[in-house]
Structure 1
Amino acid sequence: MSPDAEFRGRLALVTGAARGIGAAVTRALVARGARVVATDRDVQGLDRLAADHPERLTARPLDVTDPAAVEALVADVERTIGPLDVAVNVAGILRSSPVTALRDEDWAATFAVNTDGVLHVSRAAARRMVERGTGSIVTVASNAAGIPRTGMAAYAASKAAAVMFTKCLGLEVAAWGVRCNTVSPGSTDTDMQRALWAEAGRTDLDAAARQVIEGDLATHRTGIPLGRIAAPDDVAEAVLFLASDRARHITLHDLYVDGGATLRA
Protein backbone atom coordinates (compact mmCIF):
# COMPACT_ATOMS: atom_id res chain seq x y z
CA MET A 1 0.00 0.00 0.00
CA SER A 2 1.30 3.43 -0.90
CA PRO A 3 1.92 5.80 2.02
CA ASP A 4 -0.79 8.20 0.85
CA ALA A 5 -3.39 5.45 1.16
CA GLU A 6 -2.47 4.07 4.58
CA PHE A 7 -5.60 5.49 6.24
CA ARG A 8 -7.89 5.46 3.21
CA GLY A 9 -11.47 4.76 4.18
CA ARG A 10 -10.85 5.52 7.85
CA LEU A 11 -12.27 8.28 10.00
CA ALA A 12 -10.20 9.99 12.69
CA LEU A 13 -11.05 12.48 15.42
CA VAL A 14 -8.27 14.85 16.51
CA THR A 15 -8.53 17.26 19.45
CA GLY A 16 -6.37 20.36 19.75
CA ALA A 17 -6.16 20.36 15.97
CA ALA A 18 -5.96 24.09 15.29
CA ARG A 19 -2.21 24.44 15.76
CA GLY A 20 1.06 22.78 16.69
CA ILE A 21 1.14 19.03 17.10
CA GLY A 22 -2.62 18.69 16.60
CA ALA A 23 -2.47 20.47 13.25
CA ALA A 24 0.52 18.34 12.20
CA VAL A 25 -1.33 15.13 13.11
CA THR A 26 -4.40 16.31 11.20
CA ARG A 27 -2.43 17.19 8.07
CA ALA A 28 -0.55 13.89 8.18
CA LEU A 29 -3.76 11.85 8.50
CA VAL A 30 -5.36 13.69 5.59
CA ALA A 31 -2.21 13.23 3.48
CA ARG A 32 -2.46 9.47 4.05
CA GLY A 33 -6.05 9.16 3.00
CA ALA A 34 -8.06 9.58 6.19
CA ARG A 35 -11.16 11.65 6.70
CA VAL A 36 -10.59 13.79 9.78
CA VAL A 37 -12.89 15.54 12.22
CA ALA A 38 -10.64 18.30 13.57
CA THR A 39 -11.71 19.82 16.89
CA ASP A 40 -10.49 22.72 19.00
CA ARG A 41 -11.72 25.73 20.95
CA ASP A 42 -9.82 27.93 18.46
CA VAL A 43 -12.48 28.31 15.77
CA GLN A 44 -10.41 30.60 13.55
CA GLY A 45 -7.50 28.16 13.62
CA LEU A 46 -9.83 25.32 12.66
CA ASP A 47 -11.23 27.35 9.78
CA ARG A 48 -7.73 27.98 8.42
CA LEU A 49 -6.93 24.28 8.64
CA ALA A 50 -10.19 23.27 7.00
CA ALA A 51 -9.63 25.70 4.13
CA ASP A 52 -6.45 23.80 3.24
CA HIS A 53 -8.23 20.43 3.17
CA PRO A 54 -11.86 21.03 2.18
CA GLU A 55 -12.56 17.55 0.84
CA ARG A 56 -11.48 15.29 3.72
CA LEU A 57 -11.59 17.52 6.78
CA THR A 58 -14.54 18.54 8.92
CA ALA A 59 -13.90 21.29 11.48
CA ARG A 60 -15.94 21.14 14.69
CA PRO A 61 -15.50 23.47 17.68
CA LEU A 62 -15.15 21.50 20.91
CA ASP A 63 -14.26 22.11 24.54
CA VAL A 64 -12.90 18.77 25.75
CA THR A 65 -13.53 19.74 29.38
CA ASP A 66 -17.29 19.47 28.76
CA PRO A 67 -18.26 15.77 28.86
CA ALA A 68 -21.75 16.37 27.48
CA ALA A 69 -20.35 18.34 24.53
CA VAL A 70 -17.82 15.59 23.80
CA GLU A 71 -20.45 12.85 23.91
CA ALA A 72 -22.79 14.87 21.69
CA LEU A 73 -20.08 15.56 19.12
CA VAL A 74 -18.93 11.94 18.91
CA ALA A 75 -22.52 10.73 18.60
CA ASP A 76 -23.23 13.25 15.86
CA VAL A 77 -20.04 12.38 13.98
CA GLU A 78 -20.88 8.68 14.03
CA ARG A 79 -24.44 9.38 12.91
CA THR A 80 -23.67 11.86 10.12
CA ILE A 81 -20.13 11.04 8.91
CA GLY A 82 -19.28 7.51 9.94
CA PRO A 83 -17.79 5.25 12.61
CA LEU A 84 -14.59 6.45 14.24
CA ASP A 85 -11.55 4.31 13.55
CA VAL A 86 -9.00 6.54 15.27
CA ALA A 87 -9.14 9.09 18.11
CA VAL A 88 -6.14 11.28 18.91
CA ASN A 89 -6.01 13.35 22.10
CA VAL A 90 -3.77 16.36 21.54
CA ALA A 91 -5.61 19.21 23.30
CA GLY A 92 -3.53 20.49 26.18
CA ILE A 93 -2.56 23.56 28.18
CA LEU A 94 0.48 24.54 30.26
CA ARG A 95 0.32 26.75 33.35
CA SER A 96 3.85 27.00 34.72
CA SER A 97 4.52 27.91 38.34
CA PRO A 98 6.54 26.79 41.35
CA VAL A 99 4.32 24.61 43.53
CA THR A 100 4.52 27.06 46.42
CA ALA A 101 2.95 29.74 44.21
CA LEU A 102 0.65 27.49 42.19
CA ARG A 103 -2.94 28.74 42.13
CA ASP A 104 -5.75 26.27 42.67
CA GLU A 105 -7.49 27.49 39.52
CA ASP A 106 -4.39 26.81 37.40
CA TRP A 107 -4.07 23.29 38.79
CA ALA A 108 -7.76 22.63 38.14
CA ALA A 109 -7.69 24.10 34.63
CA THR A 110 -4.63 22.03 33.69
CA PHE A 111 -6.23 18.78 34.80
CA ALA A 112 -9.56 19.73 33.22
CA VAL A 113 -7.98 19.83 29.76
CA ASN A 114 -4.97 17.51 29.97
CA THR A 115 -6.56 14.70 31.98
CA ASP A 116 -10.33 15.09 32.11
CA GLY A 117 -10.40 15.94 28.41
CA VAL A 118 -8.55 12.72 27.61
CA LEU A 119 -11.09 10.80 29.68
CA HIS A 120 -14.07 12.41 27.98
CA VAL A 121 -12.88 11.85 24.41
CA SER A 122 -11.36 8.40 24.96
CA ARG A 123 -14.43 7.13 26.82
CA ALA A 124 -16.83 8.30 24.13
CA ALA A 125 -14.70 6.81 21.36
CA ALA A 126 -13.91 3.55 23.18
CA ARG A 127 -17.57 2.77 23.89
CA ARG A 128 -18.27 2.71 20.18
CA MET A 129 -15.01 1.05 19.13
CA VAL A 130 -15.64 -1.83 21.54
CA GLU A 131 -19.03 -2.47 19.94
CA ARG A 132 -17.33 -2.79 16.54
CA GLY A 133 -14.31 -4.75 17.80
CA THR A 134 -11.72 -2.39 16.34
CA GLY A 135 -10.17 1.01 16.86
CA SER A 136 -7.09 2.93 17.94
CA ILE A 137 -6.77 5.69 20.54
CA VAL A 138 -3.56 7.70 20.84
CA THR A 139 -2.95 10.26 23.57
CA VAL A 140 -0.23 12.88 23.21
CA ALA A 141 1.29 13.25 26.67
CA SER A 142 4.77 14.61 27.51
CA ASN A 143 8.16 13.37 28.62
CA ALA A 144 7.50 15.56 31.68
CA ALA A 145 5.13 12.76 32.77
CA GLY A 146 8.15 10.56 33.44
CA ILE A 147 10.70 12.94 34.94
CA PRO A 148 10.40 15.83 37.41
CA ARG A 149 10.46 19.36 35.97
CA THR A 150 10.80 22.57 37.94
CA GLY A 151 7.87 24.95 37.54
CA MET A 152 5.79 22.33 35.75
CA ALA A 153 4.22 20.27 38.53
CA ALA A 154 0.62 20.68 37.37
CA TYR A 155 1.47 19.97 33.73
CA ALA A 156 3.68 16.96 34.54
CA ALA A 157 1.17 15.47 36.96
CA SER A 158 -1.72 15.92 34.53
CA LYS A 159 0.24 14.26 31.73
CA ALA A 160 1.34 11.39 33.98
CA ALA A 161 -2.31 10.83 34.86
CA ALA A 162 -3.25 10.85 31.17
CA VAL A 163 -0.58 8.24 30.41
CA MET A 164 -1.74 5.86 33.13
CA PHE A 165 -5.40 6.42 32.28
CA THR A 166 -4.70 5.52 28.64
CA LYS A 167 -2.84 2.38 29.67
CA CYS A 168 -5.66 1.29 31.98
CA LEU A 169 -8.22 1.92 29.26
CA GLY A 170 -6.10 -0.06 26.82
CA LEU A 171 -6.01 -3.01 29.20
CA GLU A 172 -9.78 -2.95 29.60
CA VAL A 173 -10.58 -2.80 25.87
CA ALA A 174 -7.81 -5.01 24.48
CA ALA A 175 -10.07 -8.05 24.36
CA TRP A 176 -12.24 -6.20 21.83
CA GLY A 177 -9.31 -5.37 19.55
CA VAL A 178 -9.08 -1.69 20.55
CA ARG A 179 -5.53 -0.40 21.03
CA CYS A 180 -4.59 2.51 23.32
CA ASN A 181 -1.13 4.09 23.29
CA THR A 182 0.58 7.35 24.22
CA VAL A 183 3.22 9.49 22.57
CA SER A 184 5.35 11.59 24.93
CA PRO A 185 7.17 14.45 23.21
CA GLY A 186 9.94 16.52 24.65
CA SER A 187 10.59 20.14 23.73
CA THR A 188 8.82 20.77 20.42
CA ASP A 189 8.69 23.95 18.35
CA THR A 190 5.09 24.93 19.05
CA ASP A 191 3.27 28.01 20.29
CA MET A 192 3.20 26.43 23.76
CA GLN A 193 6.97 26.02 23.80
CA ARG A 194 7.58 29.57 22.60
CA ALA A 195 5.13 30.94 25.16
CA LEU A 196 7.02 29.08 27.89
CA TRP A 197 10.27 30.69 26.77
CA ALA A 198 8.64 34.14 26.64
CA GLU A 199 7.21 33.65 30.11
CA ALA A 200 10.74 32.94 31.36
CA GLY A 201 11.93 36.19 29.77
CA ARG A 202 13.77 34.54 26.89
CA THR A 203 13.26 36.90 23.98
CA ASP A 204 16.01 35.39 21.82
CA LEU A 205 14.30 32.20 20.62
CA ASP A 206 17.44 30.79 19.04
CA ALA A 207 19.31 31.22 22.32
CA ALA A 208 16.42 29.66 24.22
CA ALA A 209 16.44 26.65 21.92
CA ARG A 210 20.21 26.28 22.31
CA GLN A 211 19.86 26.27 26.08
CA VAL A 212 17.28 23.48 25.89
CA ILE A 213 19.53 21.48 23.57
CA GLU A 214 22.62 22.04 25.73
CA GLY A 215 20.84 21.50 29.06
CA ASP A 216 20.46 23.70 32.11
CA LEU A 217 22.05 22.69 35.40
CA ALA A 218 20.08 25.32 37.31
CA THR A 219 16.78 23.64 36.41
CA HIS A 220 18.18 20.10 36.59
CA ARG A 221 17.61 19.46 32.89
CA THR A 222 19.83 17.33 30.74
CA GLY A 223 20.19 18.47 27.15
CA ILE A 224 18.91 16.79 24.00
CA PRO A 225 21.43 14.20 22.78
CA LEU A 226 20.21 14.41 19.17
CA GLY A 227 20.99 18.14 19.22
CA ARG A 228 17.71 19.59 17.96
CA ILE A 229 14.27 20.71 19.08
CA ALA A 230 11.52 18.49 17.69
CA ALA A 231 9.24 19.71 14.93
CA PRO A 232 5.49 19.00 15.27
CA ASP A 233 5.78 16.64 12.29
CA ASP A 234 8.24 14.47 14.27
CA VAL A 235 5.56 13.86 16.87
CA ALA A 236 2.84 13.40 14.25
CA GLU A 237 4.81 10.61 12.60
CA ALA A 238 4.94 8.72 15.90
CA VAL A 239 1.20 9.23 16.42
CA LEU A 240 0.37 7.93 12.95
CA PHE A 241 2.57 4.88 13.42
CA LEU A 242 0.76 3.90 16.63
CA ALA A 243 -2.64 4.61 15.06
CA SER A 244 -1.86 2.51 11.99
CA ASP A 245 -1.96 -1.20 11.21
CA ARG A 246 1.84 -1.16 11.31
CA ALA A 247 1.40 -1.09 15.10
CA ARG A 248 -1.39 -3.66 15.16
CA HIS A 249 0.30 -5.65 17.95
CA ILE A 250 1.22 -2.62 20.07
CA THR A 251 -0.97 -1.42 22.91
CA LEU A 252 -0.38 0.09 26.41
CA HIS A 253 2.83 1.60 25.02
CA ASP A 254 4.31 5.02 25.82
CA LEU A 255 6.57 6.18 22.99
CA TYR A 256 9.01 8.94 23.91
CA VAL A 257 9.82 11.38 21.11
CA ASP A 258 12.32 13.66 22.81
CA GLY A 259 15.69 13.15 21.13
CA GLY A 260 16.89 11.28 24.20
CA ALA A 261 16.37 14.25 26.52
CA THR A 262 15.12 12.24 29.48
CA LEU A 263 17.61 9.43 28.91
CA ARG A 264 14.35 7.41 28.95
CA ALA A 265 14.02 7.83 32.69
Structure 2
Amino acid sequence: MKPPFRIAVLEADTPLPDVVEQFGRYGDIFERLLKTAADAMGQPDVISARDLQVSKWDVVDNEDSYPDLDDVDAVLISGSKHNSFDDKPWILKLVDFTERVLAQDRVRLIGVCFGHQIIGRAMGVKVGRSDKGWELAVLPFALTDKGKEIFQKETVNIHQMHRDIVFEYPPGVEPLGQSPVCSTQAMYAKGRLITVQGHPEFNDRIMEVILNARHEQGVFDDALYNDAIKRAASSHDGVAIAQAFLRFLLED
Protein backbone atom coordinates (compact mmCIF):
# COMPACT_ATOMS: atom_id res chain seq x y z
CA MET A 1 0.00 0.00 0.00
CA LYS A 2 1.03 3.60 -0.47
CA PRO A 3 0.25 6.56 1.79
CA PRO A 4 -1.73 8.54 2.67
CA PHE A 5 -3.32 5.96 4.96
CA ARG A 6 -6.86 6.36 6.25
CA ILE A 7 -6.80 4.61 9.62
CA ALA A 8 -10.02 4.02 11.58
CA VAL A 9 -9.44 3.55 15.32
CA LEU A 10 -12.28 1.57 16.89
CA GLU A 11 -12.45 2.74 20.49
CA ALA A 12 -13.54 -0.28 22.53
CA ASP A 13 -13.39 1.64 25.80
CA THR A 14 -13.05 5.12 27.27
CA PRO A 15 -9.92 5.78 29.37
CA LEU A 16 -10.21 6.80 32.99
CA PRO A 17 -11.00 10.52 33.49
CA ASP A 18 -7.45 11.45 34.53
CA VAL A 19 -6.14 9.89 31.32
CA VAL A 20 -8.76 11.60 29.14
CA GLU A 21 -7.91 14.95 30.73
CA GLN A 22 -4.19 14.59 29.99
CA PHE A 23 -4.08 12.56 26.80
CA GLY A 24 -7.58 12.33 25.30
CA ARG A 25 -9.50 9.22 24.28
CA TYR A 26 -7.88 6.12 22.82
CA GLY A 27 -8.25 7.38 19.28
CA ASP A 28 -6.28 10.50 20.22
CA ILE A 29 -3.62 8.45 22.00
CA PHE A 30 -3.15 6.12 19.04
CA GLU A 31 -3.10 8.99 16.56
CA ARG A 32 -0.32 10.67 18.54
CA LEU A 33 1.67 7.42 18.77
CA LEU A 34 1.35 6.58 15.07
CA LYS A 35 2.31 10.08 13.95
CA THR A 36 5.27 10.13 16.32
CA ALA A 37 6.36 6.75 14.95
CA ALA A 38 5.99 7.90 11.35
CA ASP A 39 8.20 10.94 11.84
CA ALA A 40 10.70 8.94 13.93
CA MET A 41 11.27 6.62 10.99
CA GLY A 42 13.19 9.47 9.37
CA GLN A 43 11.90 8.67 5.88
CA PRO A 44 9.68 11.63 4.96
CA ASP A 45 9.74 10.61 1.31
CA VAL A 46 8.21 7.25 2.35
CA ILE A 47 5.94 8.15 5.26
CA SER A 48 5.42 10.98 7.74
CA ALA A 49 2.79 12.14 10.19
CA ARG A 50 0.99 14.12 7.49
CA ASP A 51 0.37 10.85 5.60
CA LEU A 52 -1.88 9.49 8.38
CA GLN A 53 -5.56 10.37 8.38
CA VAL A 54 -6.97 9.00 11.64
CA SER A 55 -10.68 8.74 12.36
CA LYS A 56 -12.16 7.63 15.68
CA TRP A 57 -15.20 5.41 16.23
CA ASP A 58 -16.81 4.75 19.62
CA VAL A 59 -18.11 1.20 19.17
CA VAL A 60 -19.28 0.78 22.78
CA ASP A 61 -21.70 3.67 23.30
CA ASN A 62 -22.50 4.01 19.60
CA GLU A 63 -22.89 0.38 18.60
CA ASP A 64 -23.76 1.16 14.99
CA SER A 65 -20.87 3.58 14.51
CA TYR A 66 -18.52 1.82 12.12
CA PRO A 67 -16.57 3.06 9.11
CA ASP A 68 -17.48 2.15 5.57
CA LEU A 69 -14.67 -0.13 4.43
CA ASP A 70 -14.50 1.76 1.14
CA ASP A 71 -13.47 4.86 3.09
CA VAL A 72 -10.54 3.40 5.08
CA ASP A 73 -7.28 1.57 4.44
CA ALA A 74 -6.76 0.11 7.91
CA VAL A 75 -8.76 -0.61 11.05
CA LEU A 76 -7.13 -0.51 14.50
CA ILE A 77 -9.07 -2.10 17.37
CA SER A 78 -8.11 -0.67 20.76
CA GLY A 79 -7.75 -2.25 24.16
CA SER A 80 -10.60 -2.36 26.64
CA LYS A 81 -11.55 -3.19 30.23
CA HIS A 82 -14.29 -5.40 28.79
CA ASN A 83 -14.01 -9.14 28.15
CA SER A 84 -13.38 -10.11 24.54
CA PHE A 85 -15.22 -13.40 25.12
CA ASP A 86 -18.47 -11.82 26.34
CA ASP A 87 -21.58 -11.85 24.17
CA LYS A 88 -22.75 -8.30 24.81
CA PRO A 89 -24.47 -6.89 21.72
CA TRP A 90 -21.72 -4.34 21.00
CA ILE A 91 -19.02 -7.01 21.28
CA LEU A 92 -20.88 -9.33 18.92
CA LYS A 93 -21.20 -6.45 16.44
CA LEU A 94 -17.48 -5.79 16.74
CA VAL A 95 -16.68 -9.46 16.09
CA ASP A 96 -19.01 -9.42 13.08
CA PHE A 97 -17.36 -6.28 11.71
CA THR A 98 -13.91 -7.83 12.24
CA GLU A 99 -15.01 -10.91 10.33
CA ARG A 100 -16.09 -8.67 7.46
CA VAL A 101 -12.69 -6.98 7.39
CA LEU A 102 -10.99 -10.38 7.39
CA ALA A 103 -13.21 -11.55 4.53
CA GLN A 104 -11.84 -8.93 2.13
CA ASP A 105 -8.29 -8.32 0.97
CA ARG A 106 -7.71 -4.55 0.90
CA VAL A 107 -8.37 -3.06 4.35
CA ARG A 108 -5.80 -4.21 6.90
CA LEU A 109 -6.30 -4.97 10.60
CA ILE A 110 -4.27 -3.89 13.62
CA GLY A 111 -5.22 -5.28 17.03
CA VAL A 112 -4.04 -4.12 20.46
CA CYS A 113 -4.79 -6.12 23.65
CA PHE A 114 -8.60 -6.52 23.57
CA GLY A 115 -8.34 -5.86 19.82
CA HIS A 116 -5.77 -8.66 19.48
CA GLN A 117 -8.22 -10.95 21.27
CA ILE A 118 -11.21 -9.86 19.16
CA ILE A 119 -9.26 -10.70 16.00
CA GLY A 120 -8.42 -14.11 17.46
CA ARG A 121 -12.09 -14.68 18.28
CA ALA A 122 -13.16 -13.57 14.80
CA MET A 123 -10.72 -16.10 13.36
CA GLY A 124 -12.31 -18.91 15.35
CA VAL A 125 -9.87 -19.58 18.20
CA LYS A 126 -10.57 -19.57 21.93
CA VAL A 127 -10.19 -16.39 23.92
CA GLY A 128 -10.70 -16.23 27.67
CA ARG A 129 -9.27 -15.86 31.14
CA SER A 130 -5.77 -17.20 31.65
CA ASP A 131 -5.07 -19.45 34.63
CA LYS A 132 -1.60 -17.86 34.86
CA GLY A 133 -2.92 -14.53 36.12
CA TRP A 134 -2.11 -10.97 35.20
CA GLU A 135 0.68 -9.44 33.13
CA LEU A 136 1.15 -5.85 34.32
CA ALA A 137 3.32 -2.83 33.51
CA VAL A 138 6.42 -2.99 31.34
CA LEU A 139 7.57 -6.54 30.64
CA PRO A 140 9.59 -8.21 27.89
CA PHE A 141 8.41 -10.87 25.52
CA ALA A 142 10.57 -13.16 23.44
CA LEU A 143 10.38 -12.82 19.67
CA THR A 144 10.24 -15.54 17.07
CA ASP A 145 12.50 -15.17 14.04
CA LYS A 146 9.57 -13.58 12.23
CA GLY A 147 8.97 -11.31 15.21
CA LYS A 148 12.57 -10.08 15.10
CA GLU A 149 12.09 -9.30 11.41
CA ILE A 150 8.78 -7.50 11.92
CA PHE A 151 9.77 -5.45 14.99
CA GLN A 152 13.42 -5.09 13.94
CA LYS A 153 14.52 -5.90 17.48
CA GLU A 154 15.91 -8.91 19.36
CA THR A 155 13.36 -8.57 22.17
CA VAL A 156 10.43 -6.26 22.90
CA ASN A 157 9.45 -4.47 26.10
CA ILE A 158 5.81 -3.41 26.22
CA HIS A 159 3.23 -2.19 28.71
CA GLN A 160 0.90 -5.03 29.71
CA MET A 161 -2.54 -4.86 31.34
CA HIS A 162 -4.32 -8.17 30.89
CA ARG A 163 -5.24 -11.57 32.22
CA ASP A 164 -7.33 -12.53 29.18
CA ILE A 165 -5.51 -14.22 26.32
CA VAL A 166 -5.81 -15.77 22.89
CA PHE A 167 -5.19 -19.44 23.65
CA GLU A 168 -3.71 -20.43 20.30
CA TYR A 169 -2.60 -18.90 17.05
CA PRO A 170 -5.33 -18.98 14.39
CA PRO A 171 -4.64 -20.84 11.14
CA GLY A 172 -2.88 -18.69 8.56
CA VAL A 173 -1.06 -16.34 10.95
CA GLU A 174 2.60 -16.27 11.93
CA PRO A 175 3.52 -16.20 15.63
CA LEU A 176 5.66 -13.20 16.53
CA GLY A 177 6.34 -13.70 20.22
CA GLN A 178 5.56 -15.22 23.58
CA SER A 179 6.02 -14.72 27.32
CA PRO A 180 5.86 -17.09 30.29
CA VAL A 181 2.30 -15.92 31.01
CA CYS A 182 1.01 -15.65 27.44
CA SER A 183 2.18 -17.76 24.50
CA THR A 184 0.28 -15.62 21.96
CA GLN A 185 1.83 -12.18 22.41
CA ALA A 186 1.69 -11.04 18.79
CA MET A 187 0.59 -12.33 15.41
CA TYR A 188 0.95 -11.38 11.78
CA ALA A 189 -0.38 -12.26 8.36
CA LYS A 190 1.10 -10.32 5.46
CA GLY A 191 -1.36 -7.90 3.94
CA ARG A 192 -4.06 -8.88 6.43
CA LEU A 193 -3.27 -8.27 10.09
CA ILE A 194 -0.78 -7.49 12.82
CA THR A 195 -1.54 -7.64 16.55
CA VAL A 196 0.04 -7.34 19.98
CA GLN A 197 -1.32 -8.41 23.36
CA GLY A 198 0.35 -5.47 25.12
CA HIS A 199 -0.19 -1.72 24.91
CA PRO A 200 2.32 0.20 22.77
CA GLU A 201 0.18 3.32 23.23
CA PHE A 202 0.56 3.42 27.03
CA ASN A 203 3.05 5.63 28.84
CA ASP A 204 4.09 5.66 32.49
CA ARG A 205 1.33 8.06 33.54
CA ILE A 206 -1.44 6.04 31.86
CA MET A 207 -0.14 2.87 33.50
CA GLU A 208 0.10 4.53 36.93
CA VAL A 209 -3.50 5.82 36.72
CA ILE A 210 -4.84 2.36 35.84
CA LEU A 211 -2.76 0.57 38.48
CA ASN A 212 -3.78 3.03 41.18
CA ALA A 213 -7.47 2.81 40.27
CA ARG A 214 -7.55 -0.98 40.18
CA HIS A 215 -5.59 -1.21 43.43
CA GLU A 216 -8.10 1.09 45.12
CA GLN A 217 -10.96 -1.01 43.70
CA GLY A 218 -9.41 -4.19 45.09
CA VAL A 219 -8.77 -5.70 41.67
CA PHE A 220 -5.03 -5.78 42.43
CA ASP A 221 -3.87 -6.79 45.89
CA ASP A 222 -0.91 -5.05 47.52
CA ALA A 223 1.66 -7.58 46.30
CA LEU A 224 0.50 -7.44 42.68
CA TYR A 225 0.27 -3.65 42.73
CA ASN A 226 3.66 -3.14 44.36
CA ASP A 227 5.32 -5.47 41.87
CA ALA A 228 3.76 -3.68 38.89
CA ILE A 229 4.07 -0.04 39.95
CA LYS A 230 7.87 -0.25 40.11
CA ARG A 231 7.91 -1.08 36.37
CA ALA A 232 5.37 1.54 35.29
CA ALA A 233 8.08 3.99 34.23
CA SER A 234 10.46 1.44 32.72
CA SER A 235 11.70 1.92 29.19
CA HIS A 236 9.44 0.35 26.56
CA ASP A 237 9.27 -0.08 22.81
CA GLY A 238 5.91 1.50 22.01
CA VAL A 239 7.22 3.68 19.20
CA ALA A 240 9.16 0.78 17.66
CA ILE A 241 6.01 -1.36 17.72
CA ALA A 242 3.99 1.44 16.09
CA GLN A 243 6.68 1.65 13.41
CA ALA A 244 6.15 -2.07 12.78
CA PHE A 245 2.44 -1.30 12.32
CA LEU A 246 3.33 1.34 9.73
CA ARG A 247 5.76 -0.93 7.89
CA PHE A 248 2.96 -3.49 7.77
CA LEU A 249 0.73 -0.92 6.06
CA LEU A 250 3.50 -0.07 3.61
CA GLU A 251 3.93 -3.67 2.51
CA ASP A 252 2.93 -4.47 -1.06
Give TM class, smaller chain.
0.3 to 0.5
Q: Which has the higher helix share?
A: 1
TM-score, length of structure 1 as denominator length: 0.45
Question: Which has the larger strand fraction?
Answer: 2
Larger gyration radius, structure 1 or structure 2 = 1
